[in-house]
Amino acid sequence: MTVQDRPAFAARRRELIVELLRAHGTMALRDLAHELQVSEVTVRRDVRVLEAQGVLDRRRGGASLPGYQGRRSQEQTTTPELVAIARTAATLVAEGDAIVLGPGEATAALAAELVRRRGLTVVTNSLRNAQILADAPEVEVVVTGGILRGADLALVGGAAEQALEGLRVRRAFLTGHGVTAERGVSTSNAAIAGVDQALAACAEEVIVLVDHTRLGTDTMVQTVAPESIEHLVTDSNADPEVLLTFEDMGTTVHVAVPDPDRGR
């Protein structure tokens, strides 16, 4: 038995596979193997085990969460919680601001709220955010270069990080696969983490958008330390004890109340 096949290692690896699928919906086996630094054979074996447990569905050359219908379907079903978070976060954007938007469902919802704003400059590594803002007549959109990650339409890598060097904006709006008071914002992907760190570094203030399902969750790579989070925007289903911990650290917490009829 190899080290990777030991029960403890295999169990943690399978937990990470589920985390990655929760973040992306679906992934190719080769991409899972790359993220976990194991062989495709090992990942394929893990996927079979998880499928037998009903945790995921196997697809040709990959795996997905049960019932996953693709990015287009996800975009059409933004939750009421994310819509409420986006609307609250939009109140923190002033006319004439220069801001950065990281990739993610929450920041895409925020981008939609900013389409009618005037005099904004938005720097982003998200092609989805850029597309949403493309028809905004009074918003200047600056897109970094980089390598495209199809799973989340984010540009990553050294070129993306270098494009942010020397920039200074008022606020960075970021999200992640997990947010805790102990480690701050984290993600399951190291490439995403590198650019998120660069996005945070060029802003005077970091604002984190996270719904209750990811608040209190910790994933692989830290992107923003908890002491660097100036504002936390979440929904009213969030754990009050977690929010109190952030407030005790000096973070300004904004709680958005979802309207069940306002999802999109």
Mean pLDDT by 10 residues, the chain (264 residues): 57 91 84 90 92 80 74 58 96 96 95 94 96 93 91 88 94 95 90 93 97 90 96 97 97 92 56
Contact criterion met (CB below 8 Å) for 246 and 229: yes
What is the reported pLDDT for 16?
A: 93
What is the reported pLDDT for 191?
A: 85
Q: What are the extents of the domains in the chain?
A: 3-64, 75-256
What is the reported pLDDT for 207?
A: 99
Amino acid (1-letter code) at residue 108: A
* CATH number corresponding to 75-256: 3.40.50.1360
Total-model pTM: 0.75
* CATH number corresponding to 3-64: 1.10.10.10
CA dist list (Å): 247 to 92, 229, 252, 257: 18, 11, 6, 18
What is the reported pLDDT for 3?
A: 40
Q: Pick left, alpha or beta for residue 105 (phi over 0 → left; psi -120 to 50 → alpha; otherwise beta).
A: alpha
Contact criterion met (CB below 8 Å) for 177 and 210: no
Contact criterion met (CB below 8 Å) for 90 and 114: yes
For residues 182 and 218, give the distance between their C-alpha atoms in angstroms, rounded to a whole number.
9
For residues 48 and 64, give the distance between their C-alpha atoms in angstroms, rounded to a whole number.
12
C-alpha distance across the termini of the chain, in Å: 49
Q: Please count the CA atoms within 13 angstroms of the CA of 155 that sit on its side-chain side.
A: 23
What is the reported pLDDT for 42?
A: 94
What is the reported pLDDT for 26?
A: 84
Read off φ and ψ for residue 37, nearest 5 degrees. 60, 45
Locate 38 and state its tokens.
């194991």
